[in-house]
Structure 1
Amino acid sequence: MTRPAGSGPGFRRPVLVVQKDAFNDSAISTVVVIVITRNLRLAEAPGNVMLPKRSTGLPHDSVANISQIVTIDKHFLTDCVSILPRGLFEKVKAGLNLILV
């Protein structure tokens, strides 16, 4: 990601891929992700999900910032840190349902 502008994400950071595997495995060169932040205050925002480092493989306790759904080129993805435990992913899905039509 590029330099942040306004409230948008910027710089290199972990993301959570939220599109279906069929799209991930396709020739489409982009992927839909949710930005992950270390700003733990954002865990209190509606729909956001706390991601504890002990259950995610992330280096720090973090937050899935559900309001920052972005599409990025797949070439920006480097390492797979972890697959979210089902309970956390269900919370992410609930957050997405909260903000999407």
Structure 2
Amino acid sequence: MSLDGLQQQAMRVHDLYDQLNRRERGRVWTREEFMLGFMGDVGDLAKLVMAEEGARDMPGGRVALEHELADCLWSVLILARRFDVDLETAFRRTMTELEAAINIRLAGDEDPS
């Protein structure tokens, strides 16, 4: 699936959460609340990565790790949409900048002899 397809599916789930939150709480999440939810997901992901590496016990195993990675991706896709960021363009630009900066540093480490 393309990034655009992932973002469309993420927005469908986002819209369902909005409907559910309106019914159950009378309001939807703000962008700040989405960010806080993302931070919670990243914390859960960190624990699952530690468990995968054998550094702690955590229920759920690989399936839980996959779920949390997907939750984090969902949050990034939603935050990009809610802040009107063209994620594909921003990603490509950032990776190009990083590649150039890393290559410059690597070239500076080469032995001139």
Task: With the length of structure 1 as denominator, give the TM-score of the two structures.
Answer: 0.24
Rg (Cα) greater in structure:
2
Task: With the length of structure 2 as denominator, give the TM-score of the two structures.
Answer: 0.22
Q: Indicate the structure with greater helix content.
A: 2
